[in-house]
Structure 1
Amino acid sequence: MLRRIKNIYHLLRAVVANFRYAFPTRKLITIAVTGTNGKTSTVNFIGQMLDLLGESNAWVTTIDFKVANKTWQNKTKMTALDPMEFQKIARQAVKSGCKYFIFEATSHAIDQKRIWGTHINVAILTNVTRDHLDYHKTFKNYLKTKLKIFRRKTKAVINLDDENAKKFIKKSRKIITYSIKNPKADLNLKNCEIKNDQLLGEFNQSNLLASLGALISLGFDKKIVEKNIFKLKNIRGRMEMIECGQNFKVIIDYAHTPDAFKKLYSAVVPLKKNKIIHIFGATGARDKGKRPMLAKIASQFADKIILTNEDPYHEKPEQIIDEIATGIPKIFSDYEIIVDRKKAIEKAIQTAEKDDVVLITGKGHEEIMAVSDGTKKGFKLVEFGEREIVKNAIQKILNTKS
């Protein structure tokens, strides 16, 4: 009942927002990216490509907002924005002369009608794997929600590597398919030139193909777009390398789902020359079922695991970590629990040896952490700069050696 009331509230705000800002997306060419993983990167890559092609654009992502040449940080810790704020940004895009508007269409935003009234020219599917079951209850409900933005009049760019691709194809008419595994896809690794030395891993290849598909669906020349792909820059908190002169690698990534862990390791394992040390936790007040799954995957690839705090919200960090730890097999002995995330990162940096890979996941681009405010269900946001912690820890080691 409470959820229904909230959804009605968001719908009413979306209606008011659209009338207040004169249905701004009707004046823009709009691209919606949905999926469990890869949304932020795909939106960003499309925006970068459009910039390189001289096309003014705006975007809304988990990391930041962009309107023409102005970019500012998303400090809300939310991808599903309040409808009023979302339509306000779209209106700013119109007033700034933008032609294209790209955004992440999350399952929450779709289900809660936060994006009601938003015109969509192109809908992109990256993938659909387990996530947000604390909200949707079942994977079937989660999938059904994602399908809602794929309509007959909307152009669709669909990942054939996803096992649910046929369901999205059935809902769509003007379709471009892409795949890193299936040569029958319209866009694949054999007929596309998507080389970029900064963007490592199959997941980035998949996101690049999705981005290429979006632009082709809008009439851009495939070869011209491909010529600009090598210029694309990596995104903060997505397979981000921290280089401070150390003799081991440090990677920060937003991965926080089982599927994201698998895809991240597919990119990290080829870089391995010695040990992989993985520091991670799990978000509180979210799908508890995936917690042991994360540990099980990490134990298959990492040589050492440090379990730590990661946005516990109102939950007890120790309880979350204990639930994660149940997924570590008994034969995997090299793991420890350090609840304080800062100390966990410092310990990993201090003990890292030459050619190790220190992998820090869960926070990615974020510089805040959601912790309990002392009430039963309440939380507060506190500053937490993971990059500075890493850099300071590395510098301490380098100063000691010198």
Structure 2
Amino acid sequence: MKLSELLAGQNHHILQGDPGETDVTAGTAIDADRVAPGSLFIAVPGHQEGGPGAVAPALARGAVAVIVEDGHVPETPVEGACVVQVPDVRTTAAVVAARYFGEAGRSMDMVAVTGTNGKTSVSYMVESVLRISEGVRAGVIGTAGSRIGDELIPMPRTVLTTPESPDLQYLLGCMRDRGVGTVVLEATSMGLLTHRVDRTFVDVGVFTNLSQDHLDDHGTMDNYRDAKLRLFQGLCRHAVVNADDPVGVRIATLMPGAVTTYALDTDADYRATDLVVDASGTRFTLHHDGRKYPAAIPAPGRFSVANALATVAACHTLGHDLAGLVSALERMPQIPGRFERTTTASGTSVIVDYAHSPDSLNKVLGTIRGFARSRVVTVFGCGGDRDTTKRAEMGTIAGTHSDLCVLTSDNPRNEDPEAIMDQVVPGIEKTGTPYERFTDRRRAIAFALSAAGPDDIVLIAGKGSEPYQIVGDALLPFSDMATVRELAGS
């Protein structure tokens, strides 16, 4: 495709070369080491694997054109390539990547899910209920990677939950070409803020909730909230929002006449009552448009029901049969790493969950306490290079709801794991709950399993289905559930 076609209508200034004579044949890239001959390289300032300083390596790998941002023109001469300057490379990146892949989002039903907690769960639920109820071929893009049904689409391990525009548009093109009817995308706050979700043509944007997290990225809760709200300021046609959350109420003012609500505690278009929770799941009554639907999900807790309501509301908004969707809820498989359950040979129940914020840990432990018959043992930690203000609070939450805490490493990244645990300990000690600490996560899980009795519940929180642990800059293979099964011989 000609570079001039990719840039049509965009504010740009040609520094050298002729976009009308420049053929982009290998897509777009913002990582210099992923440039192929015929690529368009987009130099994003501050991007670790790219930026203006990576123009020379990108050209050496065969880039035929370069887009730079105003004020970030490469210092060294650029030879043999077309160079174009734009006011904002990230917004331009979304446009040109979408155009290169034929604006694939227009060809499918697009659902984007944002919120602090529940993005992955709702994404899995949407794919599951559409497949179970109507045989819809759906794609999922998010924390656990990208897949069509159960088939993973191979991508570099560094690809983000909400991929950068070149990767996201490539994935959408792949899914369209393989007959996908619906795509569910996890839209993170940073993904929205940096325009990665632009030009995906979202039909339904889902808002789950907002609680403290990612302050290391956004600085304040107001900034964090405003990043989430970008989805509902021109990026989606219709919104499905949690009316129990104040931010959900605010979204209704941003998109008047185009908002569907769900709730457990307030009046809403989709509402759940009569919740009955046990270790195997939750039964409830779903109310919509004056009718009642008996419903059940194989996941315990109010937060799981809220996710189910969001799922049903989003799918029904797309035009799918409500009765069939509700029936499919009960037949959904477990979501990997989201209240994922197993039982050891000795009878100890083990739950692996992604809970890594104060709110999510409190909800998961509160749910477990609601059906626990004996002791609750919690294995958890806090991530490195992330918001430090939540560490003691998470210690207090774990200590309040547990009979024994096992403090360990989460993803320490470039922080000292012992120093991270030192910041969590005061919160646990405030509750008087006994605790042990192990830097090695495997040892921590082994200790918890050995300390638990037949009727006890062990919660392993923080990493969910992640198949690795981030130590320094290395991704070391590690799975909580696989470790449990190995240690327990199950």
Q: TM-score, normalised by structure 1?
A: 0.91
Matching residue of 1:88: 170
Q: Which of these residues, 373, 376, 398, is aligned with residue 298 of structure 1?
A: 398
Correspondences of 1:232-311 after superposition (within 5 Å): 232-311=332-411
Q: 1:270 to 1:333 in 2, by over 3 A?
A: closer
SS in 1 for 2:344: coil
Deviation at 1:243, TM superposition (A): 2.4
Deviation at 1:9, TM superposition (A): 5.1
User: Which range moved further: 267-276 or 184-193?
Assistant: 184-193
Instruction: Provide the aligned length of Structure 1 versus Structure 2.
Output: 388
Correspondences of 1:363-378 after superposition (within 5 Å): 363-372=463-472
1:116 is the counterpart of 2:198: yes
Correspondences of 1:137-176 after superposition (within 5 Å): 137-151=219-233, 154-173=237-256, 174-176=258-260
1:391 partner letter: R
| Matched-pair contact (CA < 8 Å) for 1:40–1:61 | yes
Correspondences of 1:136-215 after superposition (within 5 Å): 136-151=218-233, 154-173=237-256, 174-182=258-266, 184-190=267-273, 191=287, 193=293, 195-215=295-315
Matching residue of 1:376: none
1:63 is the counterpart of 2:144: yes
Matching residue of 1:105: 187
2:148 partner letter: V
| Matched-pair contact (CA < 8 Å) for 1:370–1:380 | yes
Distance (whole Å) between structure 2 residues aligned to residue 329 and residue 3 of structure 1: 45
Distance (whole Å) between structure 2 residues aligned to residue 144 and residue 197 of structure 1: 32
| Matched-pair contact (CA < 8 Å) for 2:377–2:456 | yes
State the Cα deviation string for residues 218-266 of structure 1 (Å, max 9, x = none): 1223222212221111101111112232221111111001110121123
SS in 2 for 1:310: coil
| Matched-pair contact (CA < 8 Å) for 1:67–1:92 | no
State the Cα deviation string for residues 257-279 of structure 1 (Å, max 9, x = none): 11101211232112311111111
2:265 partner letter: K
1:346 is the counterpart of 2:446: yes
SS in 1 for 2:470: strand
| Matched-pair contact (CA < 8 Å) for 1:63–1:73 | no
State the Cα deviation string for residues 128-184 of structure 1 (Å, max 9, x = none): 1111000100000010111111147621111011132221111113111111222x1
Matching residue of 1:133: 215
| Matched-pair contact (CA < 8 Å) for 1:194–1:209 | no
Deviation at 1:22, TM superposition (A): 1.6
State the Cα deviation string for residues 299-354 of structure 1 (Å, max 9, x = none): 11101111111111111101111111122244514012111111111111111112
Instruction: Flag the structure with more relative contact order, 1 or 2, with Cα contacts below 8 A and sequence separation at least 6.
Output: 1
- Structure 2 portions without partners, runs of 5+: 1-42, 48-68, 70-87, 274-286
User: Which range moved further: 338-347 or 92-101?
Assistant: 92-101
| Matched-pair contact (CA < 8 Å) for 2:344–2:350 | no
Distance (whole Å) between structure 2 residues aligned to residue 49 and residue 221 of structure 1: 11
Deviation at 1:3, TM superposition (A): 9.5
Distance (whole Å) between structure 1 residues aligned to residue 460 and residue 351 of structure 2: 6
1:26 is the counterpart of 2:111: no
Distance (whole Å) between structure 2 residues aligned to residue 63 and residue 318 of structure 1: 28
Distance (whole Å) between structure 2 residues aligned to residue 5 and residue 338 of structure 1: 36
SS in 1 for 2:396: helix
Distance (whole Å) between structure 1 residues aligned to residue 272 and residue 308 of structure 2: 10
Deviation at 1:387, TM superposition (A): 2.3
Deviation at 1:84, TM superposition (A): 1.4
- Structure 1 portions without partners, runs of 5+: 373-378
Matching residue of 2:485: 391
| Matched-pair contact (CA < 8 Å) for 1:10–1:82 | no
Q: Which of these residues, 72, 79, 84, is aligned with residue 161 of structure 2?
A: 79
| Matched-pair contact (CA < 8 Å) for 2:241–2:260 | yes
State the Cα deviation string for residues 15-43 of structure 1 (Å, max 9, x = none): 33212212111222211100000001101
Matching residue of 1:381: 475
Q: 1:68 to 1:387 in 2, by over 3 A?
A: closer
Deviation at 1:69, TM superposition (A): 6.2
Distance (whole Å) between structure 1 residues aligned to residue 420 and residue 110 of structure 2: 39
| Matched-pair contact (CA < 8 Å) for 2:400–2:433 | no
Alpha-carbon RMSD across the aligned residues, in angstroms, is 2.2
Identity among equivalent pairs (%): 30
Larger Rg: 2
SS in 1 for 2:296: coil
Q: 1:151 to 1:10 in 2, by over 3 A?
A: closer
